[in-house]
Amino acid sequence: MTDRPVALGGPGRIVVTGLGAVTPVGDDAPATWAALLAGRSGVALLTDDRYAEMPVRIAGTVKTDPAERLDRIEARTLDRGQRFALLAAREAWADAGSPVVDPDRLAVVVGTGVGGAITMLDQWDVLREQGVRRVSPYVVPMLMPNGPAATVALELGARAQVRTPVSACASGADAIALALDLLRSGAADVVVAGGAEACIHPLPLAGFSQMRALSTRNDDPTAASRPFDAGRDGFVMGEGAGLLVLETEAHARARGARCYAELAGAGVTADAHHMTAPEPTGSGATRAMREALAAAEADVEAIGYVNGHATSTPVGDVAEAQAIRSVLGARAPGVPVSATKSMTGHLLGAAGGVEAVVTVLSVHERRVHPTINYDKPDEAIELDVVPEGARSVVIDVALSNSFGFGGHNVCLAFRRIG
């Protein structure tokens, strides 16, 4: 633990006091963490007839219908992504001890990449097949991208700010970076932040498929997402939500809260290179990681773990590996880098939220989960991707990377407490 001076009148350190997640490998954060440590994949075949003729028929779907875990009335007016967000928020809030917070000092920041795509597409079918009078009056609140954030804010009575960063697959991490700004600037004392996504539907799947972004390993779903492996052929779509309860250390200490870790810094940069292709040398990602370290007042020697964005695309993983090696320099061979997406698939706008939960647990427990399906090393990667299974490691600072179409790069730095 680094005892840095706290500026007089400033908010001091920002700490993580609650975790919540709904993912393809678990219905909550502990189940997700246990599955990841055990190396269990959540990717499965899509058995719905609508996918029968699709070139891609695999995804990381959440196994328990979120509607089953909600009151019938609350479920019926919420999009699937909003349901994931609500469940993750309830878990995170309870995990934080259900604190009593002045509503004007409580904010919510939940990012999403796509918004309520399933609602929009299903209701378009209703409009065409049954006419306008059968369209749900809840279509707009269910499809708007700020829906998950608003759902959580209504649940918790948050009145400081409700924000929704939209930056494709960096959205969840972007939300946490914005939450850090809100806390450090004094706009809030407590922020619930992360990402939510639910867009596994034939159209988004077809769109990603036509980009040739997805793995077509339909005959072996659990082996399809293979970040850093030489045989990787694209990502696997996933869904879910991951949220953190973040608060100023003063607020957390005053109520005797358990602190998992410090959110020590964030780096946010843009590539301005191409709409969808990563800048090949990973320069934007490198800058984001260095900014996060600088914001955390940490040096490279402090880094004990990197949770990679690592989607399993041929070019993306190489660009990120180059960025990680540039930042770590001579330390590169000794720092474990693992890919959550090897098991969950790619949760798009929720990925940064879920992977923040995972990185916080790694720092807290000093254990890192493996990258599964790493069978054949790719010479262009040259990282220790933890292929053998979960590992105990010494971590002072851990980084979590998230990148998105549009050239968004976000890196979060978490520091161990105690």
Partner 1 sequence: MTDAEYLAGLAEIVNEITGISADAVTPDVRFTDDLDVDSLSMVEIALAAEEKFGVRIPDSDLVKLKTPGDAVAFIKQAGVPA
- The set of catalytic residues is 169, 309, 346
Q: Could you tell me which stretch among 65-73, 156-164, 187-195, 387-395 binds partner 1 (CB under 8 A)?
A: 65-73
If one asks whether residue 71 binds partner 1 (CB under 8 A), the answer comes out as yes
Q: How far is the CB of 351 from partner 1 (least distance, A)?
A: 32
For partner 1, what does the binding mask look like between residues 316 and 355, x meaning CB under 8 A? ----------------------------------------
Residues 6+ apart with CB under 8 A from 173: 111, 195, 266, 351, 352, 353, 355, 356, 400, 401, 402, 410, 411, 412
Q: Which of 38, 67, 97, 138 binds partner 1 (CB under 8 A)?
A: 138
For partner 1, what does the binding mask look like between residues 155 and 174, x meaning CB under 8 A? --------------------
If one asks whether residue 136 binds partner 1 (CB under 8 A), the answer comes out as yes
Inter-residue contact 293 to 265 (CB < 8 Å): yes
Closest CB to partner 1 among residues 50, 134: 134
Q: How far is the CB of 132 from partner 1 (least distance, A)?
A: 11
Interface with partner 1: number of residues (CB under 8 A): 11
If one asks whether residue 76 binds partner 1 (CB under 8 A), the answer comes out as yes
Separation between Cα atoms, residue 338 and residue 341, nearest integer Å: 9
If one asks whether residue 73 binds partner 1 (CB under 8 A), the answer comes out as yes
Inter-residue contact 236 to 227 (CB < 8 Å): no
Q: How far is the CB of 14 from partner 1 (least distance, A)?
A: 37
Q: Could you tell me which stretch among 70-78, 204-212, 297-305, 378-386 binds partner 1 (CB under 8 A)?
A: 70-78
Q: Which of 133, 256, 330, 379 binds partner 1 (CB under 8 A)?
A: 133
- Residues contributing to the site for partner 1 (CB under 8 A): 71-73, 76-77, 133-134, 136-138, 141
